[in-house]
Amino acid sequence: MPETLKLVCHACGQANRVPRDRLAAAPKCGVCGAPLAAGKVAELDPATLAKAIRDDLPLVVDFWAPWCGPCRQMAPEFIKAAAALAPAVRFAKIDTQAHSEVAARHRIQGIPAFILFHKGREVARAAGARPAADLVAFVKSKLAA
């Protein structure tokens, strides 16, 4: 029997089971039909983020705010990194201005800030705008450790 992964749909928050060997086949949510590992960056709300950080796939979260210049500069690079690491790693972002309680819970002191989560725990964090290649290397180095 193939190994299955638990993935929370970033669109509707529903938990899904996906066979690991089907990740590259563009799995979709069983409830809403949204792609589960398409290499896109999802904007999450606090409730969905709380569920998604416990997924079986690593999740990189960008803590950002609309008024932050470096955050806006980083957005296209974050999108490139998401595409480069798909489907093995998922990417999401959360607006710290709209959801300041999430920023406080995760001890965000400056933005943009990136936290790599895997199976419910924080694996690593980084801060500051950076090229996509640097973010990809950061994620790969932390997951290899």
What are the tens digits of pLDDT across the range 53-107? 999 999 999 999 999 999 999 999 999 999 999 999 999 999 999 999 999 999 9
- Residue 139 within a domain: yes
- 1, part of any domain: no
pTM score, whole prediction: 0.95
Of 123, 7, 109, whose CA–CA distance to 60 is shortest?
A: 123
109-138 mean pLDDT: 96
Give me the CATH number covering residue 101: 3.40.30.10
Domains in the chain, number: 1
Whether pLDDT at 145 is above 80: no
Query: What pLDDT score does 144 carry?
Result: 86
Domain range holding 114?
39-144
pLDDT exceeds 70 at position 1: no
Q: Tell me what the mean pLDDT of segment 36-42 comes to.
A: 94
Whether 71 is catalytic is: yes
Residue 10 forms part of a structural domain: no
Could you give the 3-state DSSP secondary structure of residue 16? strand
Annotated catalytic residue: which of 9, 29, 32, 71?
71
* Closest by Cα among 52, 76, 58, 49 to 138: 58
State yes or no: is 68 an active-site residue: yes
Task: Indicate which residue of 9, 12, 29, 68 is catalytic.
Answer: 68
